[in-house]
Amino acid sequence: MEEVSNLDKLESIKSLQSTISKLENALSQMTNNGVNTTLVKKRLKAVYIGLAMLENVWNQSPHYYTQEDLAEARNVITGLFPSIGNSYAKSKTGSPQRRLLERRIKALELSIQAIDELSIK
């Protein structure tokens, strides 16, 4: 995995925690409204796994995910990039929204690297 500064590590962990919070809120609202929650649940699980993999690689925190879980999480996270990229392209240079998206993209890229590293072992 690439060398990552402590600031980038902190920002990536905070970004994934924020993403988890947003997905949990979306899941709660969708459940209350009786809407299909399958996609949100998949994304939530994938981001949880991505965060766990970063914490495993950077802080040697244990994880209990199978290779199948890691492979599915990697696919789901990879599938997030087109929509995030579209939002990024529409955001204004220097805006808080663009900075948030930059951090989210970096965090997700790092989580994929961590998944790939742990999948090899």
Nearest-10 Cα torsion for 43, 44, 49, 50: 70
Would residue 64 count as lying in a domain?
yes
Would residue 102 count as lying in a domain?
yes
Q: What is the pLDDT along the chain (121 residues), one digit of tens a residue?
A: 678 999 999 999 999 999 999 999 999 999 999 999 999 999 999 999 999 999 999 999 998 999 999 999 999 999 999 999 999 999 999 999 999 999 999 999 999 999 999 876 5
Would residue 1 count as lying in a domain?
no
Identify the three-state secondary structure at position 43: helix
* Amino acid of residue 120: I
Phi, psi torsion values for 63, nearest 5 degrees: -135, 160
Please give the model's pTM, rounded to 2 decimal places: 0.93
Would residue 11 count as lying in a domain?
yes
C-alpha separations of 40 from 34, 45, 98, 119 in Å: 13, 9, 23, 24
Q: How many structural domains are present in the chain?
A: 1
On whether the CB atoms of residues 20 and 61 are closer than 8 A, the answer is no
On whether the CB atoms of residues 85 and 58 are closer than 8 A, the answer is no
Would residue 75 count as lying in a domain?
yes
Tell me the residue range of the domain where 70 lies: 6-120
Would residue 46 count as lying in a domain?
yes
On whether the CB atoms of residues 23 and 47 are closer than 8 A, the answer is yes
